[in-house]
Chain A
Amino acid sequence: MAAPAPILRMTGIGKQFPGVRALDGVDFRLMPGEVHALMGENGAGKSTLIKVLTGVYGIDAGEIELAGEKVAFSGPLAAQRAGISTVYQEVNLCANLSVAENIFIGREPRRLGRIHWKEMRRRAAALLAGLDLDIDVSAPLSAYSLAVQQMVAIARAVDVEARVLILDEPTSSLDADEVAQLFRVMRRLKEQGIAILFVSHFLDQIYEIADRMTILRNGALVGEYHISELSQVELVAKMIGREIVELERLEGKPPAPSGGPLIEAEGLGRPGAIEPFSLTIREGEVTGLAGLLGSGRTELARLLFGADHAGSGSLRIKGAPASLRTPRAAIAHGVAFCSENRRAEGLIPDLSVRENLVLAMQARRGWTRPIPRRTQDELVAKYVEALGIRPADPEIPIRNLSGGNQQKVLLARWLILEPRLLILDEPTRGIDVGAKAEIQRLVAELSDGGMAVLYVSAELEEVLRLSHKVEVLRDRRLVAELPNDEALTTDALMEAIAKGGRS
């Protein structure tokens, strides 16, 4: 075998969380001097694998070998000492300290017991010069862009004599020039024989920089490939896979809606989040939003709800210009948004199911007009029954419910407002199959009742089953609008996602 021995070899890795098998018999190897992409959708097990490798979690099965020796790290620090450094998307450095300090803190050069600042700055500048980066190392890190900060983090990682460098979504908030700069640094490191594990959701970037890739799906290994032997379409297919569980079929394709345009976005965009896009959603229409993670799905949805300020463009609701500067304004216009991030953006964990359910309605009415308790109980009883929320006791704190039931409560929070447009961001993620089917059936019923739905999901089957039309996002750009006709299959959709348009 001509290839050198792997610097890192993980075999048969298994990791179990309560109720979830996060990793199941995953093999992974990393050669010195290669850039290796780790691919997979949300929940595929990428971050679990990285955390297992760096000792954040222990493993339930399998073993990890570094340079031929069996290892088990107690934490990221131990891993770092052994030569495995990680740089995360959100830079884990101290922005208040200087660039030089960020590289050397904890192991500053000292003379006679005192920190030798001059030497530290000299060495920091030399190190960064080795990465083609010429900046003032005495300036605070916060003075520089995220890209530079990331490279400083890499410089720190490399100077700790890293043999393995893990870059976890380093490019997700960088612009094209910054990405190019980062790639130069990566190539430089590669030449030095460092093995780089690279995670990114941008396919073009993977094909530009990576040598090989490992694909995970649902915690299991799909395979290890050379970049050259797998096309983008094949890659997407392998990442998304086919849904094996056959959900109860909704009869045929949904009938085309008859209503007029409800929301028309014209050149709406937000720098760094999503490129300006135009989009029309009709009454009673289910619009699917497809794209890989990081393609701008959530960002688009948030703009339509006023959760973020739009940097450009305009919006018309029912033909009248509307400015959605706050979620409150959007709600007043009949727009509702169920966030994909239940924990951070949906639940009030300490409050009861009933209180969580009536929250948005109460907020709309204002605090001086309480919802009579009997009305609350009726509403809650109705939706607990209709959505099958369990346990059916509305007075227990919502944090004690399972993910699927929490999701149903949050859904009910918006349904009782009877919105004109309901935006659902990954409503079925992380919930069991039964709850999934119920939510899908509900969406179909709602749209039959005249409600417009914007349905964001990573699962193409689901998008296809529910939507009247599908908007395709890629690299933060709305690249295609596909009517959901007989010709649109998951394969066609995958191709659109991979290539940026129907071929």
Chain B
Amino acid sequence: MSALLRHRLVWPAAVLAGLLLVNVIFTDGFLSVQIRDGHLYGSLIDILRFGAPLILVALGMTLVIATGGIDLSVGSVVAISGALACLQISGLGDQGSVGGVLAAVAVALALSLALGVWNGLLVSAIGIQPIIATLILMVAGRGLAQLITDGQIITVNSAPYKLIGGGYWLTLPFGIIIVAAVLTLTAFLTRRLALGLLIEAVGGNAEASRLAGIRSRGVLIMVYTFAGLCAGIAGLMISSNVSSADGNNAGLWIELDAILAVVIGGTSLSGGRFSLAGTVLGALIIQTLTTTIYSIGVPPETTLLFKALVVTIVCLLQSQAFRAKVFRRRAAPPAGRPAAEEKKVGVPA
């Protein structure tokens, strides 16, 4: 039992369960899942469906963060990928042509991949800090996306494309299937093959990894490329779901949500051990939080306040300095100053 409590996924899982519980109380039939017209329907399915792009982006982000890096550009890549796919599809004579849609998807994903390689090269070959290296694409990428869409919102009317983000396959929303596939693939590459070990080694101690003969440069390029690809797929999903591409707003701030999901999922921002399951949990928490806020009738504009609260609490709990200070205080409460200090820093939390 105590071993279970110490497991690092316990707290995220508990938070998610709590959120779901709140929903069960406030929404009738929250847990019911039904089959209508051969499709699965229900609030839980919706959370998964709407959360799918975030889970994808967060999966890519997990590996990047595990190497001790960060990728700020994923939001821009989301926009670029959706924009490029929609642009090509809108140019097709027959928007329903499966071949044309597949080609468009392939081109969009290839570009996402290339953007990921670019980030990886900046970080590993040139040696720029990850935050700064990916900031470049974060800024320029929005412009690129709008350049692709020519500042318009490109609307497409393509059944095959719609399938990616809004369709169903085997009664399941297609997005969930994609997430499941990517998750399985990631888990296979990192846990079944040895990529995960090398990533964790590089993030845990870069110099020791070098001396153990790990090609850390290759590992870095790989994780940024993977993050780019994940963001590209997420971009397709988002634009497919609304059958349009908006270079300005698609994937706005998804990088922050993704980083948050990773951190909530127990992967430390300083790199090392990562947990794919934790990230999925983290992303689901964020998505459920949004759903919950709607369902319990809190005005949706306070979503960000809750998020701020969650970020702060999770990060404080992860901070060793915080734990040390709090526990010391509990053990022997010293007089005066520390309490005042705590109050002061409590305000902006």
A positions within 8 Å CB-CB of B = 305, 307, 326-328, 331, 337, 339, 344-351, 355, 358-360, 362-371, 413
> Which residue of chain A is the closest to B206 with respect to CB atoms?
A348
Instruction: Report whether B198 and A348 are in contact in the complex, using a CB–CB cutoff of 8 Å.
Output: no
Instruction: Give the Cβ gap from A15 to chain B, nearest Cβ, in Å.
Output: 23
Instruction: Give the Cβ gap from B160 to chain A, nearest Cβ, in Å.
Output: 33
Q: How large is the interface on B (under 10, 10 to 19, 20 to 34, 35 or more residues)?
A: 20 to 34
In the bound assembly, the distance between CA atoms of A370 and B191 in angstroms comes to: 9
Q: A349-B204, A350-B204, A351-B204 are in contact. Are A327 and B197 (CB under 8 A)?
A: no
Instruction: Give the Cβ gap from B262 to chain A, nearest Cβ, in Å.
Output: 16
Contacts of A349 in B (CB 8 A): 204-205
Q: A351-B204, A370-B192 are in contact. Are A346 and B197 (CB under 8 A)?
A: no
In the bound assembly, the distance between CA atoms of A307 and B211 in angstroms comes to: 7
Instruction: Report whether A363 and B213 are in contact in the complex, using a CB–CB cutoff of 8 Å.
Output: yes
The list of the 4 closest CB pairs from A to B, nearest first, reads A348-B204, A363-B213, A370-B194, A331-B213
Instruction: Report whether A344 and B207 are in contact in the complex, using a CB–CB cutoff of 8 Å.
Output: yes
Contacts of B98 in A (CB 8 A): none
Instruction: Report whether A362 and B205 are in contact in the complex, using a CB–CB cutoff of 8 Å.
Output: no
From A337, A350, A367, A413, contact of B194 by CB (8 A): A367
Contacts of A358 in B (CB 8 A): 197
Instruction: Report whether A369 and B211 are in contact in the complex, using a CB–CB cutoff of 8 Å.
Output: no
In the bound assembly, the distance between CA atoms of A315 and B192 in angstroms comes to: 39
Instruction: Report whether A350 and B272 are in contact in the complex, using a CB–CB cutoff of 8 Å.
Output: yes
Instruction: Report whether B211 and A345 are in contact in the complex, using a CB–CB cutoff of 8 Å.
Output: yes
A-B contacts, 15 of them at CB < 8 A, read A305-B211, A327-B210, A327-B211, A327-B213, A328-B213, A345-B207, A346-B208, A350-B272, A351-B273, A355-B201, A362-B197, A363-B198, A366-B194, A369-B193, A413-B212
User: Per-position contact with A for B220-231: 1 when CB-CB < 8 Å, else 0?
Assistant: 000000000000
Contacts of B208 in A (CB 8 A): 344-348
Name which of B197, B207, B210 has the most chain A CB atoms within 10 A of its CB. Answer: B197
Contacts of A363 in B (CB 8 A): 198, 201, 209, 212-215
User: Per-position contact with A for B142-182: 1 when CB-CB < 8 Å, else 0?
Assistant: 00000000000000000000000000000000000000000
Q: A327-B210, A350-B272, A370-B194 are in contact. Are A359 and B205 (CB under 8 A)?
A: no
Instruction: Give the Cβ gap from B176 to chain A, nearest Cβ, in Å.
Output: 28
Q: A327-B212, A349-B204, A363-B214 are known; give 4 further A-B pairs, CB within 8 A.
A: A331-B213, A359-B214, A363-B209, A367-B197
Within 8 A of A (CB), among B185-199: 192-195, 197-198
In the bound assembly, the distance between CA atoms of A307 and B207 in angstroms comes to: 10
Instruction: Give the Cβ gap from B40 to chain A, nearest Cβ, in Å.
Output: 36
Name which of A359, A365, A413 has the most chain B CB atoms within 10 A of its CB. Answer: A359
Instruction: Report whether A348 and B207 are in contact in the complex, using a CB–CB cutoff of 8 Å.
Output: no
User: Per-position contact with A for B9-53: 1 when CB-CB < 8 Å, else 0?
Assistant: 000000000000000000000000000000000000000000000
> Which residue of chain A is the closest to B214 with respect to CB atoms?
A363
Instruction: Report whether A359 and B212 are in contact in the complex, using a CB–CB cutoff of 8 Å.
Output: yes
Instruction: Give the Cβ gap from A352 to chain B, nearest Cβ, in Å.
Output: 10
B200 CB-CB contact with A under 8 Å: yes
In the bound assembly, the distance between CA atoms of A326 and B209 in angstroms comes to: 12
Instruction: Give the Cβ gap from A256 to chain B, nearest Cβ, in Å.
Output: 32
Instruction: Report whether A339 and B192 are in contact in the complex, using a CB–CB cutoff of 8 Å.
Output: no
Instruction: Report whether A362 and B211 are in contact in the complex, using a CB–CB cutoff of 8 Å.
Output: no
In the bound assembly, the distance between CA atoms of A413 and B211 in angstroms comes to: 12
> Which residue of chain A is the closest to B273 with respect to CB atoms?
A350
Q: A350-B273, A413-B212 are in contact. Are A362 and B207 (CB under 8 A)?
A: no
Within 8 A of A (CB), among B115-137: none
> Which residue of chain B is the closest to A355 with respect to CB atoms?
B197
In the bound assembly, the distance between CA atoms of A331 and B200 in angstroms comes to: 21
Instruction: Give the Cβ gap from B320 to chain A, nearest Cβ, in Å.
Output: 14
Q: A344-B207, A370-B193, A370-B194 are in contact. Are A360 and B213 (CB under 8 A)?
A: yes
Instruction: Report whether A348 and B205 are in contact in the complex, using a CB–CB cutoff of 8 Å.
Output: yes
Contacts of B213 in A (CB 8 A): 327-328, 331, 360, 363-364
Contacts of A360 in B (CB 8 A): 212-213
Instruction: Give the Cβ gap from B7 to chain A, nearest Cβ, in Å.
Output: 14
Q: A359-B212, A363-B213 are in contact. Are A351 and B200 (CB under 8 A)?
A: yes
Contacts of A328 in B (CB 8 A): 213-215
Instruction: Give the Cβ gap from B120 to chain A, nearest Cβ, in Å.
Output: 15
Instruction: Report whether B209 and A348 are in contact in the complex, using a CB–CB cutoff of 8 Å.
Output: yes
Contacts of A365 in B (CB 8 A): 194
> Which residue of chain A is the closest to B198 with respect to CB atoms?
A367
Contacts of A371 in B (CB 8 A): 194
Contacts of A339 in B (CB 8 A): 211
Contacts of B272 in A (CB 8 A): 348, 350-351
Contacts of A359 in B (CB 8 A): 197, 201, 209, 212, 214
In the bound assembly, the distance between CA atoms of A367 and B312 in angstroms comes to: 36
Contacts of A369 in B (CB 8 A): 193-194
Instruction: Report whether B211 and A346 are in contact in the complex, using a CB–CB cutoff of 8 Å.
Output: yes
> Which residue of chain A is the closest to B189 with respect to CB atoms?
A367
In the bound assembly, the distance between CA atoms of A459 and B195 in angstroms comes to: 40
Instruction: Give the Cβ gap from A436 to chain B, nearest Cβ, in Å.
Output: 23
Contacts of A331 in B (CB 8 A): 213
Instruction: Give the Cβ gap from A413 to chain B, nearest Cβ, in Å.
Output: 7
Instruction: Report whether B198 and A362 are in contact in the complex, using a CB–CB cutoff of 8 Å.
Output: yes
Instruction: Report whether B211 and A348 are in contact in the complex, using a CB–CB cutoff of 8 Å.
Output: no
In the bound assembly, the distance between CA atoms of A327 and B210 in angstroms comes to: 7
Instruction: Give the Cβ gap from A242 to chain B, nearest Cβ, in Å.
Output: 34
Instruction: Give the Cβ gap from A380 to chain B, nearest Cβ, in Å.
Output: 14
In the bound assembly, the distance between CA atoms of A160 and B214 in angstroms comes to: 48
Instruction: Give the Cβ gap from B313 to chain A, nearest Cβ, in Å.
Output: 23
Contacts of A327 in B (CB 8 A): 210-213
In the bound assembly, the distance between CA atoms of A314 and B88 in angstroms comes to: 57
> Which residue of chain B is the closest to A371 with respect to CB atoms?
B194
In the bound assembly, the distance between CA atoms of A351 and B273 in angstroms comes to: 7
Instruction: Give the Cβ gap from B226 to chain A, nearest Cβ, in Å.
Output: 13
Contacts of B211 in A (CB 8 A): 305, 307, 327, 337, 339, 345-346
In the bound assembly, the distance between CA atoms of A305 and B211 in angstroms comes to: 9
In the bound assembly, the distance between CA atoms of A360 and B213 in angstroms comes to: 6
In the bound assembly, the distance between CA atoms of A346 and B212 in angstroms comes to: 8
Contacts of B209 in A (CB 8 A): 348, 359, 363
Instruction: Report whether B205 and A347 are in contact in the complex, using a CB–CB cutoff of 8 Å.
Output: yes
In the bound assembly, the distance between CA atoms of A417 and B272 in angstroms comes to: 24
In the bound assembly, the distance between CA atoms of A349 and B205 in angstroms comes to: 8
Instruction: Give the Cβ gap from B245 to chain A, nearest Cβ, in Å.
Output: 35
In the bound assembly, the distance between CA atoms of A346 and B272 in angstroms comes to: 15
Name which of A359, A363, A368, A413 has the most chain B CB atoms within 10 A of its CB. Answer: A363
Contacts of B201 in A (CB 8 A): 348, 351, 355, 359, 363
In the bound assembly, the distance between CA atoms of A347 and B206 in angstroms comes to: 10
Contacts of B197 in A (CB 8 A): 351, 355, 358-359, 362, 367
Contacts of B200 in A (CB 8 A): 348, 350-351, 355
Contacts of B214 in A (CB 8 A): 328, 359, 363
Within 8 A of A (CB), among B211-254: 211-215, 219
In the bound assembly, the distance between CA atoms of A339 and B211 in angstroms comes to: 9
